[in-house]
């Protein structure tokens, strides 16, 4: 068998004939329509989507406000040279600046989260004159070179060298203490120890630290109270810029408008993506005027063909309008509390659930083979996830070396939809030995 040969696989369905696989296997049903919290398959099945279209359909699938924004762009202007701006680009930049604290008032509109993080990293390098970028074990920031170099959740193997100067801190996982010290309470020793290691291995060129307010792909890891305040102190002491990647926590999902609000720490640079586009590719990098001016003086360049696209700016404005008009930040807090209570009920009935954690409508359910030893439930999570899909519920698997469900329905989800989803999970655990 050559290095390019693999073991025999089952014959794929005909629709996969010309599709290049880029991760996990495709679901075996074609989706022909989506609306609100539901997906509809070619066979007519209604499937509750508790992944929000991989965290992007914040205000529900195919929201009328997004459809109208797209139609308006079709009647006016869809795309321009990236040196030209439309009134909607200006309006969205002003709107985002108005939602954030005063230092964060300079906006570049881009497409994906990876692209926004790439721009943030380039901003940090050109303004500090340094090149080392610190990430976290369990982080996910994208698949472009710089973003991928600071992504540690998965996707690092077999791609050769990463960007020079890529450093990492332990993930603040209170359920699985990375330094095997904290049991019932955390004294932030993992963070202090992590910076001791950074000081030991850095060449003294630390430019920035990139962090998610809640690690998502890493397993819905919520840092303990005070963590980001201590992190800010460590960064300030060393002159390191702090970048918050709010791709999945921004614009209401956690029950606050932005994830950083829980600890009251304002970053030097903030990136948005998934929740801003409502299902379409839109992202933003937001920095202070002082940092933006220093970058410009030093020759900052981050051209892309679709920077400042009018179509996407119209969509972003529509998403922000709906979130504010319909009180979806408050709704995420309320529905998130209800959903978390229902998931804790499940934990009480099924010993395969080791932990339930998260904030707002970004929750994690960690599945274990043994609750005492906390051995990951690798053999269980696949079949249970597949059974949920068969029963009409879509959830994402995350967690890297661990087995975690990411539970993240649209912010428009109803109590009835939550109850239906929990009933499906309950049945799947009962049927497949997860009790």
Q: Supply the residues annotated as catalytic.
A: 140, 212, 245, 248, 274, 406
DSSP state of 325: H
The secondary element (H helix, E strand) that includes residue 401 is none
Q: Residue 98: how many CB atoms within 10 A of its CB?
A: 9
- As a whole number of angstroms, the distance between CA 266 and CA 140 comes to 20
**Cα–Cα distance list, 398 to 54, 381, 426 (Å):** 11, 10, 20
- 31-35 and 38-41 strand pairing: antiparallel
Q: What is the DSSP annotation of 90-137?
A: HHHHHHHHHHS-TT--EEEEES-HHHHHHHHHHHHHHHHS--EEEEET
The residue behind tokens 């679709």 is 306
The secondary element (H helix, E strand) that includes residue 404 is strand 404-407
- Output the CA torsion 308→313→316→318 (10° steps): 180
User: What pairs with residue 282 in β-bridges?
Assistant: none
Cβ atoms of 138 and 400 within 8 Å: the answer is: yes
Q: Residue 182: how many CB atoms within 10 A of its CB?
A: 17
- Provide the 3-class DSSP secondary structure of residue 157: coil
| Per-residue buried b or exposed e for 392-401, using 16+ beta carbons within 10 Å of the residue's own CB | bbbbbebbbe
């Amino acid at each position: 068998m050559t290095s390019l040969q693999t073991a025999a696989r089952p014959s794929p369905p005909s629709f996969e004939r010309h599709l290049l696989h880029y991760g996990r296997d495709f679901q075996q049903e074609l989706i022909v329509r989506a609306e609100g919290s539901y997906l509809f398959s070619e066979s007519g099945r209604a499937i509750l989507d508790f992944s929000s279209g991989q965290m992007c359909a914040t205000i529900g699938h195919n929201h009328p406000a997004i459809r109208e924004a797209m139609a308006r762009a079709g009647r006016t202007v869809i795309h321009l040279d990236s040196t030209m701006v439309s009134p909607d680009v200006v309006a969205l930049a002003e709107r985002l600046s108005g939602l954030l604290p005063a230092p964060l008032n300079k906006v570049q509109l881009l497409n994906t989260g990876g692209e926004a993080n790439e721009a943030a990293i380039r901003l940090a390098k050109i303004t500090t004159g340094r090149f080392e970028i610190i990430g976290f074990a369990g982080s996910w920031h994208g698949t472009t070179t710089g973003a991928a170099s600071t992504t540690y959740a998965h996707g690092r193997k077999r791609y050769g060298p990463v960007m020079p100067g890529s450093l990492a801190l332990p993930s603040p996982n209170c359920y699985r203490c990375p330094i095997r010290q904290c049991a019932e309470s955390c004294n932030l020793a993992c963070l202090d120890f992590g910076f001791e290691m950074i000081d030991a291995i850095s060449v003294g060129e630390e430019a920035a630290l990139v962090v998610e307010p809640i690690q998502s792909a890493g397993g819905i890891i919520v840092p303990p109270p005070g963590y980001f305040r201590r992190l800010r102190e460590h960064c300030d002491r060393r002159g390191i810029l702090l970048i918050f990647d709010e791709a999945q926590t921004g614009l209401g999902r956690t029950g606050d408008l932005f994830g950083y609000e829980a600890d009251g720490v304002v970053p030097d640079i903030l990136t948005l993506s998934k929740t801003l586009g409502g299902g379409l590719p839109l992202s933003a990098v937001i920095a202070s005027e002082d940092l933006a001016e220093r970058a410009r003086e030093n020759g900052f360049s981050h051209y892309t063909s679709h920077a400042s696209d009018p179509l996407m700016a119209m969509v972003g404005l529509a998403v922000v309008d709906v979130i504010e008009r319909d009180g979806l930040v408050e709704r995420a807090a309320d529905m998130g509390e209800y959903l978390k209570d229902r998931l804790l009920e499940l934990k009480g009935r099924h010993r395969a659930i080791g932990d339930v954690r998260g904030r707002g409508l970004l929750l994690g359910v960690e599945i274990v083979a043994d609750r005492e030893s906390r051995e990951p439930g690798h053999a269980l999570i696949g079949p249970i996830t597949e059974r949920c899909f068969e029963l009409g519920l879509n959830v994402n698997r995350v967690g890297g070396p661990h087995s975690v469900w990411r539970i993240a329905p649209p912010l428009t989800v109803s109590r009835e939809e939550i109850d239906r989803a929990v009933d499906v999970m309950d049945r799947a655990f009962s049927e497949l030995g997860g009790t």
